[in-house]
Amino acid sequence: MILLTGVTGKIGGETARQLIARGAKLRALVRDVAKAADLKAAGVERVVGDIADVDTVRRALTGIEKAFLLLPNGEQQEASEKQFTDLCVAAGVKHLVKMSSMEATATAQTPIPRAHWAVEEYIRASGLAWTMVKPNFFMQNLLASAKSIREQDKFSLPMGQGTTGMADARDIGAVCAEVLTGTGHAGKSHEITGPEVLTFSQVAERFSEVLGRKIEYVPMPMAQFRERMTGILKPWHLNAVCQLFQEIADIGLDHTTGTFRQLIGREPIPLRQFIRDHEALFRA
């Protein structure tokens, strides 16, 4: 039996869908059962509660062999993930798979990758078998710009001319599903990227090609982004996101890996395909 967290979100949702297709026996820790109604219909057991609640997590981990750990970024992420790791050890879980990020390294400079790295190190020292899934920027992040693309033929982000090797959440979910059901993944860190390194101006070119009209990328000054997101993100999270985006602007995530192809046996989804698949959201 596999325990999934984060199933009502982007990567956890894709992971669950692909595991269901593989016929895996699943349990999900969810905060809101209504959001996970489709999982119940697919035969997924659900345990309701917050990951910070020790009794709930203990119940969720009973009889679990492999667990998938995904939390959104926030001030409590590191502490909650460490606590979840301890509870996995206590429950006799054999293998813990953690959603981390490509920027999470021993020399990471900004809070989000540093927290991911701290949890990675904690898991590696726990005695559990482990696998880290470390994706690049998600293509699905661009959906937050759909309204502006649809209505103004432009999008604006504070990433300057920084680069990413952005990956589709569907591909990242496929990797998580493979890691949770396949063999040979223990002790591995899988860096997952899309097929090409792109600046955001090149991202705009891809939109223009697929949509058949000119889409422009307008770099947003970081101060403007900070002002816009104040009150939407909590202060710790906002600072951390600004630092992460500044790092993408300054340094970029400027390489791709062949890991997805090696693990899944096909090419990763290119940005053009992602745009085509969500075309209705971007059409004027």
Ligand X SMILES: NC(=O)c1ccc[n+]([C@@H]2O[C@H](COP(=O)([O-])OP(=O)(O)OC[C@H]3O[C@@H](n4cnc5c(N)ncnc54)[C@H](OP(=O)(O)O)[C@@H]3O)[C@@H](O)[C@H]2O)c1
List residues binding ligand X (CB under 6 A): 5-12, 29, 31-32, 35, 50-52, 70-73, 99, 101, 112, 135, 137-138, 141
Residue with tokens 């993944």: 185
Which C-beta is closer to ligand X: that of 72 or that of 283?
Answer: 72
Q: Considering beta carbons, is residue 149 or 165 the nearer one to ligand X?
A: 165
Contact present, 198 and 164 (Cβ < 8 Å): yes
Residue with tokens 């999934």: 4
Strand 26-30 to strand 95-99: parallel, antiparallel, or no bridges (unpaired)?
unpaired
Nearer to ligand X, 47 or 222 (CB): 47
Closest CB 225 distance from ligand X, rounded Å: 15
Smaller CB distance to ligand X: residue 152 or 199?
Answer: 199
- Cβ 269 to ligand X shortest distance, Å: 15
Minimum CB separation of residue 162 from ligand X in Å reads 13
What's at 185, amino acid-wise? H
Q: Which residues contact 257 (CB under 8 A, 6 or more apart)?
A: 165, 191, 192, 193
Closest approach, Cβ 213 to ligand X, in A, equals 26
Nearer to ligand X, 153 or 232 (CB): 232
Q: Distance of alpha carbon 29 from its chain centroid, rounded?
A: 17
Distance CA 138, CA 248 (A): 13
Cα dihedral across residues 195, 196, 197, 200: positive or negative: negative
Which residue is at the shortest CB distance from ligand X? 9
- Residue 159 in 3-state DSSP? coil
In the bound complex, what is the minimum distance in angstroms from residue 71's beta carbon to ligand X?
Answer: 6
